[in-house]
Structure 1
Amino acid sequence: MINSVGVSEINTMTKLFWNWLKLSPVVFATALFATNSAFAGEVQQDLNQDATSVTQLSQNSSGNNMGQVTSVSQFSDVQPTDWAFQALQSLVERYGCIAGYPNGTYRGNRALTRYEFAAGLNACLDRVNELIATATADLVTKEDLATLQRLQEEFSAELATLRGRVDALEARTAELEANQFSTTTKLVGEAIFNVGGAFGDEKANGTGDDVDDNITFSNRVRLSLNSSFTGTDQLQTRLQSGNLTNFGTAAGTNMTRLGYDNDTDNEVQIDKLNYAFNLSDAIRVKVDANNGEYYENINNFNPDFASSGRGALSRYGRFSPIYRQGAGGAGLTVTFNPKGSLSASVGYLAGGRTNDASSPLAGEGLFDGNYSALAQIAFQPSESFNVGLTYVRTYQNSQGGVNLFESTGSAFASQPFGAVATSSNNYGAQVNFRPTSKLAIGGWVGYTTAEAEAGPDADADIWYWMANLALRDFGKEGNLLGVFFGQPPKVTSNDIGAREDDGTSYHLEALYRYQLTDNIAVTPGVLVIFNPEHNDNNDTVYVGTLRTTFTF
């Protein structure tokens, strides 16, 4: 027994016990968690704690805030089904190296800091030395020591490998910390390579010219600097360049526009600047300094296809055009109860693509130029069902430019009274339903009443709708098959009869996004516009694309 051993044997036993701790990760981790639980509520998680935190830690480790237990059943949050139950039971009943909180809990699932590790290890070894010094009966037998020594020799290679891996991880972590871009900012990038072209007989603009069916190769690049100062806020600064032209010129109708076209002649621009933060747990605020768009600020009910780089190929297929009202402006969007099943949003955007909210000139600025005011109620009783009702009031003048639907419908829908000041009331209903995790069905319907604010007194009604189907993980995890069918914005009645759409255009789109790697997606697709510009006399036009998106 241990009473008969000498000093050298005691030292040997201490060494072997240490090796035993290394050989048994479960018992070792349990012992450390047990001791550290006494001061779990006091130690900060930051590894860069100052001397005050260390002093506080050493004081808490004295045991004043914990109670020694003699049976694992005294812990209310430890169950026999827990994976470390047997190891914990052995440490409690055989070695007495376990303490818990005064309320009878162990809290075995919380994280362990380096400070807690050092203090816990020291306290546990003190207990081991105490037991050895008092020669407690049945603590360690010679057979136990022989077994431990044999296990150490048998697993020496594995232990050496583990030590090497830990050293390598520490070195890699140190290198990453030393070379990280910023402690507050993340760089997010997206690059699109696109091969595409428009096809058909005559253009839809009434000129009689043939469709320009040249195949093009173009690109768009975005770099976003996303900074967070509190952990729940975000300052976004996005740079963009590209040479992706509008196929509306080639086909004679903006109904053929792609959802990611952008032509800056590859000159870099500050495309986005905004800041979002939580005013409280129930209120989320976003301030757009430029290029604000409602579809980025609130739920647009089309999660599979809203992204310009990974979603729909067409401009109209991404989301309801009601979210394009006021696009490009500056302003504020507030969402109430953003994480609840029932939420509400209000927003105001001033300016636009060609109007400047920062200008003090007449007909511009925050309140004298183009503007849009939005209100939306969203209802999401479950993850599989999502519906929203949206209202937007807009005003656009000739100085800022009139384009009610941002080139997603006919020319008459964009300017029902020509290039004169126009106000509109826009109503929309959107829905997305997922009967299974692989299948999503969605769509929208919208109605707009427009009124001429200059020239002759005139009103116009405009309707549009869309239905889409998404098959997720089709053929491979991460892939997406999408089909769209709908009617782009159409002027159904107009006091100016010459600007009323007589026919009906139909939008048909199909795409298949193939996830080549985690960061590369290839999306072939086709867009078909029947009776473009809502004119039954116009020939059908087609757009074929092959979009490759790199994300990093």
Structure 2
Amino acid sequence: MSKKNIYCLATVLSVLANPAITQETLYSFNEPDSMAQINSVSQLRDVSPTDWAFEALRSLVERYGCIVGYPDRTYRGNRALSRYEFAAGLNACMQQMERLIAQSESVLKEDIETLKRLMAEFETELAALGTRVDNLEGRVAFLEDHQFSTTTKLGGEVTFTLAQAFGDKVTNPNTGISEDLDTQAVLTTRVRLQLATSFTGKDVLFTRLTAGNLGASFAGQTFTDEGRFAYDGQLNNDVTIDRLHYYFPINDNLRMFVMASLGGHHFYADTFNPGLEAGGGANGALSRFAERNPLYRLGLGGQGVGFRYKLGTNFELSAGYLARGGNDPSEGRGLFNGNYSAMGQLVYKPTDRIKFGFSYLNGYDPNGVGSAFSFGGTGTRFANLQLTGLGVPNRPISSNSYGLQGQFDITPNFSLRAWGGYTSAKLIGLGEGEIWNYALALAFPDLGKEGSMGAIIVGAEPYLGGLDVPQNPRLINDTPLHVEVSYKYPLTDNITLTPGLIVLAAPNQNSGRNDPIYIGTIRTTFTF
């Protein structure tokens, strides 16, 4: 039994002699506060020489050191306690006397006799206490023998996805050739193993290994990034270190995020979509678009830093800088000589249930390999400024993006979220384009069972609303409607089943040449 769990018996030596003593005169041994050993009864602020138990307390501490107090130097002797708590204190004093005897220290015979009588009286409770202690020691020994690390926690996620895309006519926006949508049902997997290491207790180093075979979902058959699964991206089950981040506090209000691999603005900024936002995990929304405003995906995959700062109780400021290719020393690459995305976000939270946010992002994309303008696997091909189908050549792009987000938790079981984004993209030396996206999300936490999540998301993935270039190509800018319905159901604490349906109307923002696309799925996620 550790020192902090040694409880004192205020009147152990006088209990039998004074049957009028009640539990209120004894110490509460089940108090959760931490305790500290004291050396003199005079150190207790709430015990005075006029108290009837003062001499008993002084005898215990001076004779046997069998007393503890709270860190604030109080004894709180009028608190009630159970027989089990009394037995715990009795056991502690008994062990203290055994140590004194083993060290040839003197122990009064009458005290020993008193303890024997108490032990006989509380024999049942002491036996139960010993069993509980033995069980606890066995469990602690098992954990010590099997723990992965004293500083690192290992978490894992394994996902099986059964899915198929349905539809009729789809058109390749680059070639203008139409064809029937012909896909097969697939069973795909994705595995994540993440190590979370803390060196100070307040910081955390994330190291994540990922493998999978989802690829880009059905984008190769639908010719659009709309409807891609939130957790796709890996091919051939190759194992990669896709996340290497270190988070640490600078002070009580400011936290810093260093992202050496797979940087993203959503890692340090609030995205207003809890439960559906899973950071690319397979326990949130089905699609990338339903996770968060696509503006947070600008610059995704690079290296950089982020900050999150609390401004009082109602405001929060986030800022970050990312560079795809920030680890490449080549000309036109690196942290400051190539692709970058810088974001600032202000969050206002007037109540515990309502919050709003405004985001601004400035970016530059040289449009080379790995540094082209992109909404991170969401939106139409034209919104991602893949404009060869319009006869517009690739150009470096300078962009300014503005986002509005909001969340209203109407009840504990119903939450309303919404976002909108606008991007002004300048094709350097050629012209400008404007890109829009917006969504309304209805979330139903604990729907039918604790830990479940129902969701309905309706909106428009990023689409090119206008293009002002000298060639003045005829741009079709039908609104590409995205409708997603899903229900995450926990079979156990570690297994969830998520059936869902994604409907894409006017995919690639062209309803005339593209029929609606339906993506049905059943996702099973194992976590440990």
Q: Which has the larger share of helix?
A: 1
Please tell me whether the aligned partners of residues 32 and 120 of structure 1 are also in contact (alpha carbons under 8 angstroms). Answer: no
| Corresponding position: 1:357 with 2:326 | yes
SS across alignment from 2:473: helix
Please tell me whether the aligned partners of residues 283 and 338 of structure 1 are also in contact (alpha carbons under 8 angstroms). Answer: no
Indicate the residue corresponding to 1:165 in structure 2.
132
Indicate the residue corresponding to 2:235 in structure 1.
264
User: Structure 2 vs 1, CA of residues 495 and 445 (structure 1 numbering), >3 Å: closer, same or farther?
Assistant: same
- Which residue, out of 357, 380, 396, partners 1:410? 380
Please tell me whether the aligned partners of residues 490 and 501 of structure 1 are also in contact (alpha carbons under 8 angstroms). Answer: no
Indicate the residue corresponding to 1:84 in structure 2.
none
| Corresponding position: 1:194 with 2:161 | yes
Deviations, residues 181-236 of structure 1 (Å, cap 9, x unaligned): 11111111111110001101122424322112200001011111111001110111
Please tell me whether the aligned partners of residues 65 and 102 of structure 1 are also in contact (alpha carbons under 8 angstroms). Answer: no
Indicate the residue corresponding to 2:497 in structure 1.
522
Deviation at 1:258, TM superposition (A): 1.1
Please tell me whether the aligned partners of residues 434 and 440 of structure 1 are also in contact (alpha carbons under 8 angstroms). Answer: yes
Please tell me whether the aligned partners of residues 67 and 102 of structure 1 are also in contact (alpha carbons under 8 angstroms). Answer: no
Deviation at 1:315, TM superposition (A): 1.4
Indicate the residue corresponding to 1:396 in structure 2.
365
Deviations, residues 252-306 of structure 1 (Å, cap 9, x unaligned): 2211211111223101101111111011112100111111011122111111211
- Which residue, out of 168, 182, 185, partners 2:152? 185
Task: Give the distance between the partners of 2:222 and 2:30, measured in 1 at CA.
Answer: 71
- Amino acid in the other structure paired with 2:433: A
| Corresponding position: 1:384 with 2:353 | yes
Indicate the residue corresponding to 2:184 in structure 1.
214
Task: Give the distance between the partners of 2:434 and 2:319, measured in 1 at CA.
Answer: 24
Please tell me whether the aligned partners of residues 65 and 101 of structure 1 are also in contact (alpha carbons under 8 angstroms). Answer: no
| Corresponding position: 1:366 with 2:335 | yes
- Amino acid in the other structure paired with 1:477: E
- Amino acid in the other structure paired with 1:425: N
Please tell me whether the aligned partners of residues 41 and 57 of structure 2 are also in contact (alpha carbons under 8 angstroms). Answer: no
Task: Give the distance between the partners of 2:521 and 2:207, measured in 1 at CA.
Answer: 29
Where structure 2 has 5 or more consecutive residues not aligned to the other structure, the ranges are 1-11, 61-66, 80-84, 101-106
Deviation at 1:30, TM superposition (A): 3.0
- 1:184-333, aligned counterparts within 5 Å? 184-205=151-172, 206-246=176-216, 247-307=218-278, 308-333=281-306
Where structure 1 has 5 or more consecutive residues not aligned to the other structure, the ranges are 1-12, 44-56, 75-89
Task: Give the distance between the partners of 1:149 and 1:170, measured in 2 at CA.
Answer: 23
User: Structure 2 vs 1, CA of residues 68 and 371 (structure 1 numbering), >3 Å: closer, same or farther?
Assistant: closer
Task: Give the distance between the partners of 2:241 and 2:151, measured in 1 at CA.
Answer: 20
Indicate the residue corresponding to 2:28 in structure 1.
30
Segment drifting more, 445-454 vs 506-515: 445-454
- Amino acid in the other structure paired with 2:482: H
SS across alignment from 1:412: coil
Task: Give the distance between the partners of 2:375 and 2:456, measured in 1 at CA.
Answer: 22
User: Structure 2 vs 1, CA of residues 518 and 338 (structure 1 numbering), >3 Å: closer, same or farther?
Assistant: farther
User: Structure 2 vs 1, CA of residues 500 and 477 (structure 1 numbering), >3 Å: closer, same or farther?
Assistant: same
User: Structure 2 vs 1, CA of residues 150 and 229 (structure 1 numbering), >3 Å: closer, same or farther?
Assistant: closer
| Corresponding position: 1:543 with 2:512 | no
- Amino acid in the other structure paired with 1:333: G
Please tell me whether the aligned partners of residues 13 and 56 of structure 2 are also in contact (alpha carbons under 8 angstroms). Answer: no
User: Structure 2 vs 1, CA of residues 530 and 280 (structure 1 numbering), >3 Å: closer, same or farther?
Assistant: same
Please tell me whether the aligned partners of residues 439 and 457 of structure 2 are also in contact (alpha carbons under 8 angstroms). Answer: yes
The TM-score, its normalising length taken from structure 2, stands at 0.80
Deviations, residues 98-146 of structure 1 (Å, cap 9, x unaligned): 886898744799xx9x9xx9689749999xx77957x9xxxx9xxx999
Deviations, residues 318-341 of structure 1 (Å, cap 9, x unaligned): 100110011001011011128843
Indicate the residue corresponding to 1:468 in structure 2.
441
- Amino acid in the other structure paired with 1:61: N
The TM-score, its normalising length taken from structure 1, stands at 0.77
Indicate the residue corresponding to 2:427 in structure 1.
452
- Amino acid in the other structure paired with 2:446: D
SS across alignment from 1:498: coil
SS across alignment from 2:404: strand
Task: Give the distance between the partners of 2:354 and 2:31, measured in 1 at CA.
Answer: 43
Please tell me whether the aligned partners of residues 16 and 149 of structure 1 are also in contact (alpha carbons under 8 angstroms). Answer: no
User: Structure 2 vs 1, CA of residues 125 and 70 (structure 1 numbering), >3 Å: closer, same or farther?
Assistant: farther
CA RMSD of aligned residues (A): 3.8
- Amino acid in the other structure paired with 2:223: G
Please tell me whether the aligned partners of residues 162 and 186 of structure 2 are also in contact (alpha carbons under 8 angstroms). Answer: yes
Task: Give the distance between the partners of 2:167 and 2:25, measured in 1 at CA.
Answer: 73
Aligned residues with identical type, % of pairs: 37
Task: Give the distance between the partners of 1:467 and 1:507, measured in 2 at CA.
Answer: 10
Residue correspondences, number:
474
- Amino acid in the other structure paired with 2:181: V
SS across alignment from 1:447: strand
Deviations, residues 345-374 of structure 1 (Å, cap 9, x unaligned): 1110011xxxx2122211111111100011
- Which residue, out of 374, 389, 404, partners 1:429? 404
User: Structure 2 vs 1, CA of residues 26 and 483 (structure 1 numbering), >3 Å: closer, same or farther?
Assistant: farther
User: Structure 2 vs 1, CA of residues 499 and 515 (structure 1 numbering), >3 Å: closer, same or farther?
Assistant: farther
Task: Give the distance between the partners of 2:506 and 2:153, measured in 1 at CA.
Answer: 46
Task: Give the distance between the partners of 1:331 and 1:427, measured in 2 at CA.
Answer: 21
Deviation at 1:382, TM superposition (A): 2.7
- Amino acid in the other structure paired with 2:478: G
